[in-house]
Amino acid sequence: MTPEEGIFLAELCAERAGLKIDAEKAYLIENRLGPLARREGYGAVSELLEVLRGRADERLLTACVEAMAPNETVFFRDRAVFDHLWRKVTPELARRRSDGVVRIWSAGCASGQEIYSLAMLQAEQAAPGKIELFASDLSERQLERARLGVYSSFEVQRGLSARRLVRHFENRDDHFQLAKPLRQAVRWRRVNLLDDLTPLGAFDIVLCRNVLGALTPAARARAMERLASVVASDGVLVLGVNEEVAAEGFLPETAARGVFRRASEIRAAA
Amino acid sequence: MKTCLVVDDSRVVRKVARRLLEDLGFAVAEAADGLEGLAWCRAMMPDLVLLDAAMPLMSGLDFLRRLRLEPGGRAPKVIFCSAETHLDRIREALDAGAAEYIIKPFDGDIVAEKLALAGVA
């Protein structure tokens, strides 16, 4: 891959999805784009990029950007966060809702482990109200994978106890598939976090964990603003445990790192 | 220091497991089969057993069932290790008293993760 091809890719990803791609990290680019290049019949990533630079193939450009999006996720990542959300935040919010419905959105869900962790909790423990689970990703391919809910033995051993594995999964050849009722408990949608998100409605809990760090500073600020615009007035925004909220009006919860509550709600409760 | 007994007929697996567990702060003993493992446990019951499923003389499941009948044998957390991915086999190990199940091959991250899930990290 030439330096020019790396720069072309970095500019393409930044422009379309706000992704921060280091043009010099050839191994990362090869790793992410290699499968796409092979599927499309190119012998190497540099061939794919050369073709893309030469002609505006919208389908291929989109697939290229989507393939560069972050896709690292595990079941029950940072278990304390899930405990806090499920035992404290969700029951509190359910009590406040006249219809008892709590809407939860996993933004940038990748292969779906985060929203499925919540679906498992919902199946295991009587929910305090009615929980609606939504998940989105920039990549149609990731969404397709998440909808199928099929994971390798490596993936099901990261964060997932053996008891949960036998309870919620079925064998699918040498992989494991999440049981159908849990897969059907989630609604999926392709969403670019830089777009206007308000048509999605308001959410009581928005999880966007370890996603914003992959964006350029300008895109990160814009995505944060967009996410904040759909968090209910007494809702919470959940980021990665080492991420800080950069939107007005959110304060960190002391009980779990990465969980931020709307400041207006904290003032009202005081 | 917490103690771990690695019961596996493969010398290579025992060596790898020893290194991973020592890195995680355990004092490690090794047994090459279930009978040797039970003898270790009678002499000094470990906090943790990393147990291979398929061994000569005594299977991992048989070892686990016999361990639980020994005085103090209900105490150690047992992590069952097998290349077997059928959920019925995993369920069988859990029903016999395994705290966790590792699908082979494993690495340090998976062992650390499973120890945390089993509450022995």
Name which of B87, B98, B102 is nearest A157 (Cβ-Cβ): B102
Class of domain A79-269: alpha beta
Q: How many residues belong to chain A? A: 270
Strands of the A150-151 sheet, one edge to the other: A150-151, A175-178, A169-172
Asked if B114 lies within 8 A of A158 by C-beta distance, the reply is no
Q: Is the ipTM of this complex over 0.90?
A: yes
Residue A153 has pLDDT above 90, yes or no: yes
pLDDT at A268 (0 to 100): 55
For A234-258, write each residue's pLDDT tens digit: 999 999 998 888 777 899 998 899 9
- Distance CA(A101)–CA(A253), nearest Å, equals 22
For A81-123, write each residue's pLDDT tens digit: 999 999 999 999 999 999 999 999 999 999 999 999 999 999 9
DSSP A186-202: EEEEE--TTS--GGG--
Residue A269 has pLDDT above 60, yes or no: no
Q: Tell me the two tokens of residue A263.
A: 């400041």
- Distance CA(A200)–CA(A136), nearest Å, equals 11
Q: Please give the average per-residue pLDDT across B27-31, as a whole number.
A: 98
A58-68 and A45-54 helices cross at what angle (nearest 10)?
Answer: 130
Question: What residues in A contact B106, CB-CB < 8 Å?
Answer: 157
Domain ranges in chain A?
3-68, 79-269
Name which of A161, A169, A171 is nearest B117 (Cβ-Cβ): A161
- Distance CA(A37)–CA(B5), nearest Å, equals 47
DSSP state of A41: T
Question: What residues in B contact A166, CB-CB < 8 Å?
Answer: 87, 90-91, 94
Residue A265 has pLDDT above 70, yes or no: no
Asked if A153 lies within 8 A of B90 by C-beta distance, the reply is no
Q: What is the pTM of this model?
A: 0.91
Long-range CB contacts for residues B90-96, cutoff 8 Å, separation at least 24: B90/A162, B90/A165, B90/A166, B91/A166, B92/B61, B93/A162, B93/B53, B93/B60, B93/B61, B93/B64, B94/A162, B94/A163, B94/A166, B96/B61, B96/B64, B96/B65, B96/B68
Question: What residues in A contact B77, CB-CB < 8 Å?
Answer: none
Q: Tell me the two tokens of residue A98.
A: 């006249």
In chain A, % of residues over pLDDT 70: 97
Would you call A184 an interface residue with chain B, using a CB distance cutoff of 8 Å? no
DSSP state of A101: E
Calculate the average pLDDT of chain B.
96
Instruction: Compare all CA atoms of chain B with the CA of A153 and give the residue at the minimum distance.
Output: B103
For B41-89, write each residue's pLDDT tens digit: 999 999 999 999 999 999 999 999 999 999 999 999 999 999 999 999 9
Domain A3-68 coded CATH 1.10.10: no
DSSP A9-24: HHHHHHHHH-B---TT
- Distance CA(A117)–CA(A135), nearest Å, equals 12
Contact A223, A19 (CB under 8 A): no
Domain B3-118 coded CATH 2.40.100.10: no
Strands of the B100-103 sheet, one edge to the other: B27-31, B3-7, B48-52, B77-82, B100-103
